[in-house]
Amino acid sequence: MKKILFILSIISLTVVTNSCESDITSLNEDPKHPTVVPSGLLVASAEQELISQLLTPNVNNNIARFFTQQWAQTTYI
């Protein structure tokens, strides 16, 4: 029984080690998320977000306006 178990374990170990690929870098490729993006697209997106952040009337999105108003108001003593 021990000999059969030993032989089966050797066979299974051989199958497992021989079935692995040596080059597994193709597993990390994601076609939906590119690794290299043209810089023009990043700059355009950054500019759009900056303008959106500066021109939004919502105080929750642009909290700097809220603090500027608080710091600039006249304090009467």
pLDDT score for 2: 84
**What's the total number of domains in the chain?**
1
Tokens 């959106």, residue located: 52
Report if residue 33 sits inside a domain. Answer: no
Domain containing 67 equals 46-71
Report if residue 58 sits inside a domain. Answer: yes
Report if residue 61 sits inside a domain. Answer: yes
pLDDT score for 59: 64
Name the nearest CA neighbour of 49 among 39, 62, 59, 36: 62
pLDDT score for 6: 92
Report if residue 50 sits inside a domain. Answer: yes
pLDDT in tens, the chain (77 residues): 888 999 999 998 888 777 666 676 767 777 787 778 888 777 888 888 888 877 877 767 666 766 776 777 777 76
